[in-house]
A and B are shown apart, each in its own frame.
Chain A
Amino acid sequence: MIEIEGITKRYGETTVVRDVSLTIAPRTVTVIVGTSGSGKTTLLRMINRLVEPTSGTIRLDGEDNRSLPGYELRRRIGYAIQGHGLFPHRTVAQNIATVPTLLGWDRARIDAKVAELLTLFQLDPAAFGPRYPHELSGGQQQRVGVARALAAEPKVLLMDEPFGALDPIIRAKAQDDLLAIQKHFETTIVLVTHDMEEAFHLADRIAVMDKGEVVQYTTPAEMLVKPATGFVESLIGAGERPFRLLAIETVATAVEPGTAEGKAISSAVSQREALSTLLWSGRKALPVVGPDGVLIGKVSLDGLAQRAAGRS
Chain B
Amino acid sequence: MLRLPNLFRLLALAALVAFLVQPQWFEPLLRPLVQENAPAIYNQGSLLQLTLLHLRTVAIATAGATVVALALAILVTRTSGAEFLPLSRSLVNIGQTFPPVAVLALAVPIFGFGEKPTLIALFLYGLLPIFENALTGLTTLPQSTMEAARGTGMTGRQRLLKIELPLAMPVILAGIRLSVVISLATATIGSTVAARTLGEVIIAGLQSNNLAFVVQGGLIVAVLAVLIHDALQAAERSLGSRMGR
Q: Are B244 and A134 in contact (CB under 8 A)?
A: yes
From 201 to 245 in chain B, residues with beta carbon under 8 angstroms from any chain A beta carbon are 242-244
Contact with B along A62-94 (1 / 0, CB 8 A): 000000000111111001011111111100000
The docked-state distance in angstroms from the alpha carbon of A50 to that of B151 is 7
Picked from A71, A85, A89, A98, the residue with its CB within 8 Å of the CB of B144 is A85
From 19 to 43 in chain B, residues with beta carbon under 8 angstroms from any chain A beta carbon are none
Q: Which of B142, B150, B152 has the most CB of A within 10 A?
A: B152
From 129 to 154 in chain B, residues with beta carbon under 8 angstroms from any chain A beta carbon are 142, 144-145, 147-154
Q: Are A50 and B150 in contact (CB under 8 A)?
A: yes
The answer to whether the Cβ of A294 comes within 8 Å of any Cβ in the partner chain is no
Q: Are A88 and B153 in contact (CB under 8 A)?
A: no
Q: Given that A81-B144, A82-B144, A102-B158 are known contacts, is A88 also in contact with B243, CB under 8 Å in the complex?
A: yes
A residues near B244, Cβ cutoff 8 Å: 88, 132-135
Q: Which of A76, A81, A145 has the most CB of B within 10 A?
A: A81
From 146 to 178 in chain B, residues with beta carbon under 8 angstroms from any chain A beta carbon are 147-155, 158, 163, 166-167
A residues near B142, Cβ cutoff 8 Å: 85, 88
Assign chain B's interface to a size class. Answer: 10 to 19
Contact with B along A115-155 (1 / 0, CB 8 A): 00000000000000000111100000000010010000000
The docked-state distance in angstroms from the alpha carbon of A48 to that of B148 is 12
| Chain B: minimal CB distance from A11 (Å) | 16
Q: Are B148 and A86 in contact (CB under 8 A)?
A: yes
Picked from B149, B150, B153, B155, the residue with its CB within 8 Å of the CB of A87 is B149
Q: Are A85 and B153 in contact (CB under 8 A)?
A: no
Q: Given that A85-B145, A87-B145, A102-B158 are known contacts, is A74 also in contact with B153, CB under 8 Å in the complex?
A: yes
The answer to whether the Cβ of A99 comes within 8 Å of any Cβ in the partner chain is yes
Picked from B147, B148, B242, the residue with its CB within 8 Å of the CB of A89 is B242
B residues near A71, Cβ cutoff 8 Å: 153-155
Q: Given that A72-B153, A99-B152 are known contacts, is A85 also in contact with B243, CB under 8 Å in the complex?
A: no
The docked-state distance in angstroms from the alpha carbon of A249 to that of B212 is 91
Q: Given that A89-B243, A134-B244 are known contacts, is A102 also in contact with B153, CB under 8 Å in the complex?
A: yes
A residues near B167, Cβ cutoff 8 Å: 87-89
A residues near B149, Cβ cutoff 8 Å: 87
| Chain B: minimal CB distance from A266 (Å) | 39
The docked-state distance in angstroms from the alpha carbon of A88 to that of B244 is 7
Q: Are B243 and A81 in contact (CB under 8 A)?
A: no
Q: Are B152 and A102 in contact (CB under 8 A)?
A: yes
B residues near A73, Cβ cutoff 8 Å: 153
B residues near A86, Cβ cutoff 8 Å: 145, 148
| Chain B: minimal CB distance from A162 (Å) | 11
A residues near B148, Cβ cutoff 8 Å: 79, 81, 84-87, 145, 148
The docked-state distance in angstroms from the alpha carbon of A74 to that of B142 is 20
The docked-state distance in angstroms from the alpha carbon of A84 to that of B167 is 17
Q: Are B152 and A79 in contact (CB under 8 A)?
A: yes
Q: Are A85 and B151 in contact (CB under 8 A)?
A: yes
Q: Are B163 and A99 in contact (CB under 8 A)?
A: no
Q: Given that A85-B144, A86-B145, A134-B244 are known contacts, is A79 also in contact with B155, CB under 8 Å in the complex?
A: no
The docked-state distance in angstroms from the alpha carbon of A145 to that of B142 is 15
Q: Given that A85-B145, A85-B147, A134-B244 are known contacts, is A98 also in contact with B152, CB under 8 Å in the complex?
A: yes
| Chain A: minimal CB distance from B245 (Å) | 8
Q: Which residues of A contact B (CB under 8 A)?
A: 48, 50, 71-76, 79, 81-89, 98-99, 102, 132-135, 145, 148
Q: List 14 A-B contacts (CB under 8 A).
A: A74-B150, A74-B152, A79-B148, A85-B144, A85-B148, A86-B148, A87-B163, A89-B167, A89-B242, A99-B153, A102-B152, A102-B154, A132-B242, A132-B243
Q: Which residues of B contact A (CB under 8 A)?
A: 142, 144-145, 147-155, 158, 163, 166-167, 242-244
Q: Which 7 A/B pairs are nearest by Cβ-Cβ distance?
A: A134-B244, A85-B148, A75-B153, A79-B151, A74-B153, A85-B144, A88-B243
What 10 additional pairs, Cβ within 8 angstroms, besides A71-B154, A74-B152, A148-B152? A72-B153, A79-B148, A81-B144, A81-B148, A82-B144, A87-B148, A88-B142, A89-B166, A99-B152, A135-B244
